[in-house]
A and B are shown apart, each in its own frame.
Chain A
Amino acid sequence: MANTILILAEQLRGSLSDITFEMLGEGRKLANALGVPLYAALLGSEAASLAAKLGAADKVFVVDNASLNMAPANTTAAALKAVMDQAQAGLVLIGGTNVSMGVGAVLSAKANLPFVNYCRAIRADGGAVVLTSQLFGGKILTDVKLTDGKGIVSVYPGAFQADAGKSDKTPAIEKVEVSVEAPKVTFKKYIEPETGDVDITKQNVLIAVGRGIQDKGNVELAEELAATLGGAVCASRPVIDQGWLPLSRQVGKSGMTVKPRLYLALGISGAPEHWEGMQGSQCIVAVNTDPKAPIFDGAHYGIVGDALEFIPLLTDKVKARKG
């Protein structure tokens, strides 16, 4: 029996996440290349109602059980292991998101299969599967070959096109009865995003500051540039963690997703978790002292230099230009 491919359909607050469709699209290509079926697993009490949207899969395995709603990683992994066995899956794709983080590692321990994290590319190589992962904040790529095509893979959000995984077809649905041990961790409530003084998702121009800005006082330089250009200041995680700007200004995996017309990244290395939140910006300009900073690989314009020196200079030039 061939190893089938199984993806864990991720959901949050009753909707399927983009990563679900990203994995379905890429999983479909891989399944076709390997000549095996593509299956999806949907867990939780809303599973049945969402299954019809997963038409890119040949079959959806549904575990309709309220204990799996907002369940911790080990509970989810235990149910997923049961589906994996039922589906005779050899390769399991799981979203590398905050929501699903942890599930893959536990599943790999339970299934005694390799766990490969941070995956950005997948290809078939004969019967083997080659995975390309991104390490060291985006500076290094590694290839791992699963010679028997078996493993648990955590897929980087944004690595694949979500549209490729959307389909009007109706998938076959199979209910799986799994006895789920009541999770020890209990979900209490959601805490809604902080509404800050400005909504950075609605700005045309964002001046983004990273650790390279060096101290709180320097954030003012960015504020002045933002005011001159008619935009707002946002930041990478270390700046927020230092308390230099409020949480509502964080861009990235845990923070906001922004798509301004201009994203000026000052002293930001371009780690994948930051990139996730700003990659859709129309024009990305990066200023960084490190000519090898990963941000330059994706930015439209790059400047190697000291942001602290550059910001006031740019502010003056823009003011002069505007007259």
Chain B
Amino acid sequence: MNIFVLLKLVPDTVEELEIAGDGKSLEAEVLRFKQSDPDEHAVEQAILLKEKCSSKVTVVALESPEVDDALFTALAKGADRAVKLTGNLINAQSFAAAQMLANFLKPEGASLPADTLILLRGQSIDDLEGEIGPFLAELLGLPYVCVVTSVVPEGGSVTVMKEFAGGLRGEFAVPMPAVIGIQSAEKPPRYVPFAKIKAIQKTAKIETVDVTPPDSLTRFGVERMYKPEAVGRAQMLEGASEEVADKLVEVLAKNSLI
């Protein structure tokens, strides 16, 4: 199979997020980026497929701060090729990003090989449009299924498992080429030692492809960005650990929980 995994880093939400002076965006200076869980799962799913049936795995990202680390990490895990799309692409919303990725995956006049599978995460926490997969599928004219937790190849299609709610899942047959939004891989993402990533950085190369940005990187603007007011904020139990534990025991007792 010819597998593409699309990657994008997200701000680490365990860190403090600050609103920038324009009141419409996050303060870039203090942002710390990390790979999102579902992106790591998408890479894992691709490598698992490669181990099952010989495949070529290409990881693709639009140029952004620290993204090289994610691409090298994927190479260290077993991806065959890493591509970074460059240009003035910062701040592209999902639709614009999908346009650029579609042009790279299927340049005008070209067609996608029949055994192509494009894996990405289903949703992002950092973009108001939040879903590249369906845009990409629409632009490429391909089928799309998201919230997927397993991908099993069967001839010219893949059988995928999609999550609904309450633990209910459904099985779908998806003919290739296709775009699949991965939620979790069949196994936890593998760990790769830092030394191996360092070694790959010396031997492997990230290909860069210059892309022409679409007419507009955004389809609408943000009026205001702000932190939620702490409405109904929790009653905080404070003090030294012992004291806090005692306070909680009182709360539990008061609520007849012990």
Known: A186-B173, A302-B237, A310-B241. A139 touches B167 (CB 8 A): no
Query: A247 → chain B, closest Cβ, in Å?
Result: 7
B108 in the interface, Cβ–Cβ < 8 Å? no
Q: Residues of B within 8 Å of A, CB-based: how many?
A: 84
Which of A101, A142, A299, A300 has most chain B Cβ within 10 Å?
A: A101
Q: Which of B95, B144, B184 contacts A72 (CB 8 A)?
A: B144
Known: A72-B143, A141-B228. A309 touches B241 (CB 8 A): yes
Q: 1/0 contact trace for B166-184 toward A, CB 8 Å?
A: 1111111111000001011
B245 touches A317 (CB 8 A): yes
Interfacial residues of chain B within 225-258, with CB under 8 A of chain A in the complex: 225-228, 230-238, 241-242, 244-246, 248-249, 251-253, 255, 257-258
A101 touches B146 (CB 8 A): yes
A296 touches B230 (CB 8 A): yes
In the assembled complex, the Cα of A162 lies from the Cα of B222 at a distance in Å of: 28
Residues of B with C-beta under 8 A to A188: 159, 170-173
Known: A98-B162, A303-B236, A313-B245. A135 touches B125 (CB 8 A): yes
Residues of B with C-beta under 8 A to A1: none
Q: 1/0 contact trace for A63-86 toward B, CB 8 Å?
A: 000000010111001000000000
A169 in the interface, Cβ–Cβ < 8 Å? no
Known: A136-B125, A302-B236. A257 touches B173 (CB 8 A): no
Query: B180 → chain A, closest Cβ, in Å?
Result: 10
Q: Which of B16, B144, B230, B257 contacts A297 (CB 8 A)?
A: B230
In the assembled complex, the Cα of A186 lies from the Cα of B253 at a distance in Å of: 53
B244 touches A310 (CB 8 A): yes
Query: A323 → chain B, closest Cβ, in Å?
Result: 11
A142 touches B165 (CB 8 A): no
A321 touches B253 (CB 8 A): yes
In the assembled complex, the Cα of A77 lies from the Cα of B134 at a distance in Å of: 10
* Among A36-44, A47-55, A102-110, A170-178, the stretch in contact with B: A102-110
Residues of B with C-beta under 8 A to A184: 143, 174-175
A269 in the interface, Cβ–Cβ < 8 Å? yes
Query: B185 → chain A, closest Cβ, in Å?
Result: 8
B131 touches A102 (CB 8 A): yes
Q: Which of A101, A154, A191, A318 contacts B147 (CB 8 A)?
A: A101
In the assembled complex, the Cα of A318 lies from the Cα of B258 at a distance in Å of: 8
Which of B165, B222, B234, B251 has most chain A Cβ within 10 Å?
A: B165
In the assembled complex, the Cα of A193 lies from the Cα of B246 at a distance in Å of: 38
B167 touches A247 (CB 8 A): yes
Q: Which of A97, A192, A204, A303 contacts B248 (CB 8 A)?
A: A303
A261 touches B257 (CB 8 A): yes
In the assembled complex, the Cα of A256 lies from the Cα of B166 at a distance in Å of: 4
Known: A193-B166, A310-B245. A136 touches B13 (CB 8 A): yes
Known: A133-B128, A135-B128, A302-B236. A187 touches B188 (CB 8 A): no
Which of B129, B134, B137 has most chain A Cβ within 10 Å?
A: B134
A250 in the interface, Cβ–Cβ < 8 Å? yes
Q: Which of B174, B188, B224, B238 contacts A242 (CB 8 A)?
A: B188
In the assembled complex, the Cα of A254 lies from the Cα of B165 at a distance in Å of: 4
A–B complex contacts, Cβ < 8 Å, 23 sampled? A12-B164, A74-B143, A74-B144, A102-B181, A109-B139, A117-B130, A136-B17, A136-B125, A140-B17, A140-B26, A142-B223, A143-B226, A185-B143, A185-B173, A186-B172, A190-B170, A204-B257, A241-B41, A254-B164, A300-B235, A303-B244, A314-B248, A317-B249
Interface, chain B (partner A; CB < 8 A): 11, 13-14, 16-17, 19, 26, 37, 41, 94-95, 122-123, 125-131, 133-135, 137-139, 143-147, 159, 161-175, 181, 183-184, 187-188, 219-228, 230-238, 241-242, 244-246, 248-249, 251-253, 255, 257-258
Q: A110-B138, A117-B129, A318-B249 are in contact. List 19 more A-B contacts (CB 8 A).
A: A72-B144, A73-B137, A102-B146, A106-B138, A109-B95, A109-B138, A142-B223, A184-B175, A185-B173, A187-B172, A191-B170, A204-B257, A297-B228, A297-B232, A298-B232, A301-B237, A302-B233, A317-B248, A322-B258
Instruction: Enumerate the 10 nearest inter-chain pairs by beta-carbon distance, A residue then B residue, closest first.
Output: A193-B167, A302-B234, A117-B130, A105-B134, A102-B134, A299-B234, A254-B163, A114-B220, A191-B169, A188-B171
